[in-house]
Amino acid sequence: MAVFCRSAASLVKPVFLLPSTFAAVRHYSSGGQFQYILVDKKGDNNNVGFIQLNRPKALNALCDGLIIEVNKALDSFEQDSGVGAIVITGSERAFAAGADIKEMQNRTFQECYGGSFLSHWNKISTVKKPVIAAVNGFALGGGCELAMMCDIIYAGEKAQFGQPEILLGTIPGAGGTQRLTRAVGKSLAMEMVLTGDRISAQEAKQSGLVSKVFPVDQLVSEAIKCGEKIASNSKLVAAMAKEAVNAAFELTLAEGNRLEKRLFHSTFATEDRKEGMTAFVEKRKAMFKDN
Ligand code: CAA
């Protein structure tokens, strides 16, 4: 059976699959399901979900259709027990140049408010599996916000981050003022939001917005490697660890520490915690079963 799977390099490659494996991958095969994104599974064990924004003519501007597709792909990966981490990337020129300005140009207040415009954008911040943004090129406005909804940001050395909405007579609407401020502090966030100035990958690294910077052509494979490392741990416990770290942005220190302790205690109800410690004592590699 030949199924056309799209690769990161935008090539459409025929992949031959046995009938029994078809059901497992069909979510990620082309077949016309996605217009604006390429979806695949990566890594030696096929355990890293991979989403590539693919609207090159508009520098991956985030039109409604694109966001809906990203949300669908995230849902598929959440339900796929073989996937332990997700990488989201764009092209070498642009991760995403923001919300689609042409789509927004004639919108009214009533349409935005009444239709809760942008309310479906935060899906990426609600998935349980760890998500890594691999950012090459422009990450502006909603593009920067999308990256900041991810758990880890890796940047290519030519990446540029910015919240230029002020130059369009508006302000960030998908978490830019909140997440950027938490990531880089008040002064730099204010400067970026009030001037629309961009920062480089190196500045983003210095300010804590991104964790690592790589040469442009190595970025995606490094992000996939990180995804594989995460996916080799217990998916159940990784979700708990992610929940605990995210709580640091919502709770007081005392509340956060209490939640962390409860989640820590909860790992003692899992087979994976027992396996992890037993493997250490027996000097072997742990075999996690996600339960
Ligand atoms: N929306 C729609 N189309 C966009 C776009 C966007 N955000 N960004 C770029 N494009 C389109 C351009 O209109 C152009 O299309 P045409 O060829 O049909 O004219 C194409 O992508 C290529 O763009 P440029 O010719 O402008 O390329 P450039 O290299 O000269 O400049 C850029 C690149 C600096 C990223 C510039 O395109 C730019 O400033 N884009 C807008 C960035 C921006 O303001 N983003 C914030 C949007 S608002 C927002 O995101 C709100 C929110 O909080 C959710």
The answer to whether residue 5 scores a pLDDT higher than 80 is no
pLDDT at 28: 54
* CB-ligand 1 contact for 150 (6 Å cutoff): no
pLDDT at 270: 98
Domain spans of the chain, in order of start: 5-231, 235-281
pLDDT at 33: 86
Residues labelled catalytic:
99, 142, 145, 165
Q: How far is the CA of 15 from the centre of ligand 1 (A)?
A: 35
Of 281, 258, 274, 158, nearest in space to 213 by CA = 158
Say yes or no: domain 235-281 is CATH 2.60.120: no
* CB-ligand 1 contact for 151 (6 Å cutoff): no
Whole-prediction pTM value? 0.91
Mutation test of ligand 1: which of 101, 125, 145 has the most ligand atoms closer than 8 Å to its C-beta? 101
* CB-ligand 1 contact for 67 (6 Å cutoff): no
Q: How far is the CA of 13 from the centre of ligand 1 (A)?
A: 30
- What is d(CA 134, CA 216) in angstroms, rounded to the nearest whole number? 10
Q: Which atom of ligand 1 is nearest to the CA of 173?
A: 53
Q: Which atom of ligand 1 is nearest to the CA of 164?
A: 44
pLDDT at 23: 35
Write out the H or E segment, with its range, that includes residue 70.
helix 64-79
Q: How far is the CA of 142 from the centre of ligand 1 (A)?
A: 11
Which CATH fold would you assign to the domain 5-231?
2-enoyl-CoA Hydratase; Chain A, domain 1 (3.90.226)
Q: How far is the CA of 254 from the centre of ligand 1 (A)?
A: 43
Same CATH fold, 235-281 and 5-231?
no
DSSP for 215-259, please give it: -GGGHHHHHHHHHHHHHTS-HHHHHHHHHHHHHTTTS-HHHHHHH
| Reported confidence tier of residue 56, pLDDT bands at 50, 70, 90 | very high
Over residues 230-289, the pLDDT tens digits come to: 999 999 999 999 999 999 999 999 999 999 999 999 999 999 999 999 999 999 999 999
| Reported confidence tier of residue 32, pLDDT bands at 50, 70, 90 | low
Across the chain, mean pLDDT equals 91
Q: Which atom of ligand 1 is nearest to the CA of 167?
A: 44
- What is d(CA 236, CA 144) in angstroms, rounded to the nearest whole number? 29
* CB-ligand 1 contact for 149 (6 Å cutoff): no
